[in-house]
Amino acid sequence: MIPSFTHRPLSICLGIFFSLLFSFTGISSQVNAANSPSDNIRENYQKTRDKMRDKMKTSNKQKMQDKASGMPQDVLDLQPIKKITMPPFKKAISSAMLAGKEAATPLINLTYHKGKTLSVPDQFQTIQQAIDAANDGDTVLVKSGTYYEQLIMKDGIKLISDRGQGGDELVAVPNAVIKLPRRTLRTIIDGSKTVPSKQGMIDFNEGLGRHSMVDGFTIQNLPPQNHHIPGHAHGINIRGASPIIMNCYIKNMGSTGIGNHVVYNDQQQPLKTRDFRWKNIKNFSSPVIYNNIITGSLGLGIGCNHFSNPVILSNEMFNNSDSALGEGPSPGMGNKHGSAATIIGNIVHDNPGGGILGQKGEPQGKYPVDRPTHPSIMHNVIYDNGEDKPAVGGMNLGAETSPIVIRGNYIYSSGTTGIGISDSSFAIIEENYISQAKDPAIAVTGSIVLKLNNNYISSTNGSPGIAIINSAQVREMIGNNVDTNNDAPRFLVDRESRVSPGSATKRTPRGPRNH
């Protein structure tokens, strides 16, 4: 008859278990009359006992934290408890870059330009002279050197640096993660001999489309100006145009590195009389910004404004800050005034004003913007972006039918919240990896999250993994694996907030892309 383990202390139960095991396997001759294990077996038994005790303590603490968290039990039942290992950094980078490349491939036509090739400086002394002489389908080929110009691009023209002498070989860029073609670093457009104006280093004719391309230049030294004041320029000014910008090194700009805006019908009227509503748009702005490095901007790395919907793929943004202007620093990438950027596969790091952020934007004109800001932020790698603002998120973003989408991102070492949504935002937050956030990895404050599913959170530095507060709502919450190392509760929900399991169907977490 097997003795009952019911109501016995753990040590006694384990002792009985080991004794039975030894007798069943013919090892009973190795134990003494009191069934004591040998020294080796005793050591293994004690280790097993201690592990079980620690596991019970951890489990009990976790249950107590979950019970006190405010999270409904039916929602807790749908959140797994497993150890999490963050993907290696190099693997996350490779996955992000591949996601961006896959998105870019169908958008970039590399066979369109079959017209003449105009060479600088062989045929034309300046780049602008060659652009002015070119027609739709022509290529302006620029040999290596430094060109002190500010350019205005025409529709249908490809502006490209010379591929000769190993120009397409990828080479390292100082302090950057990704590499760029050698031709990019040896072909420079420099603004250090210009003065501040409304013109950027490169502007584009209104209405220009994706057959206009800038490929493979270092573009630098736009004179300093305050990008918070209307009338400023950006390093690359994309206003009411949709070009392709690729393989460029954009550095040391005295404003935002790349700025995107639509153009309105009343663009030239005084600001206070302007109509910023959707119906007053004259020219849209939907550029493809692919495989560039943007650093050292006196502003954002990339700014998306006034209903622009750029496609931003596989770029790297770092060390962009406008703190010298006397205000809180802007993020590496910003979105406001109804913009709807698609942001895939970028690397955003070491920007003191946060990673990829958005907001509604301050009211402007007689009739302000009438649609919500709602970027889609997917498969990016974001890390080390200051101590004051989230890695990803923003305020007053999205709407029920057009939420901000935050999906499949890798977020490491956030100085504050990993993903932060506040001030009546609408969002979908799914399949993100977040590690080493100093505040809650995901914070939903006074906002509505339509789906909060399958996120992976580890090492929260004593903060809850997910906090839902200030009358927030989460309408579906399934499959979020939060590993706080037992230093903090997995979840925190205040009394004014509401969380639902949604479909209440337990799903298998997918996580971010794994290439």
**pLDDT at residue 434 greater than cutoff 60:** yes
Average pLDDT, the chain: 88
Q: What is the pLDDT of residue 40?
A: 53
pLDDT by residue (tens digit) across 54-109?
Answer: 554 556 777 788 888 899 999 999 999 888 888 999 999 999 999 999 999 999 99
Give me the residues paired with residue 141 across strands. 119, 160
Ordered by where they begin, the domains of the chain are 1-50 (no CATH), 89-322+329-362+370-499 (2.160.20)
Mean pLDDT of 300-305: 97
Q: How far is CA 429 from the centre of its chain?
A: 12
SS (H, E, C) 94-125: HHHHHHHHHHHHHHCCCCCCCCCEEEECCCCC
Which one has a higher pLDDT value, 262 or 49? 262
pLDDT by residue (tens digit) across 141-179?
Answer: 999 999 999 999 999 999 999 999 999 999 999 999 999
Lowest mean pLDDT among 41-45, 200-204, 357-361: 41-45
Mean pLDDT of 394-410: 98
Q: Which of the four pLDDT bands, split at 50, 70 and 90, describes residue 44?
A: low
Determine the Cα–Cα distance for residues 240 and 423; give it in Å rounded to an integer: 30
Among 338, 312, 332, which Cα is nearest to 411's?
Answer: 332
Mean pLDDT of 250-260: 96
Mean pLDDT of 449-477: 94
Q: What is the pLDDT of residue 67?
A: 86
Q: What is the pLDDT of residue 228?
A: 75
H-helix segments, 89-198: 89-104, 127-133, 182-186
Q: Which of the four pLDDT bands, split at 50, 70 and 90, describes residue 29?
A: very low
Contact between 414 and 438 under an 8 Å Cβ cutoff? The reply is: yes
pLDDT by residue (tens digit) across 173-205?
Answer: 999 999 999 999 999 999 999 988 889 999 999
Mean pLDDT of 247-251: 98
Share of the chain above pLDDT 90, in %: 75
Q: Which of the four pLDDT bands, split at 50, 70 and 90, describes residue 509?
A: very low
Mean pLDDT of 423-432: 98
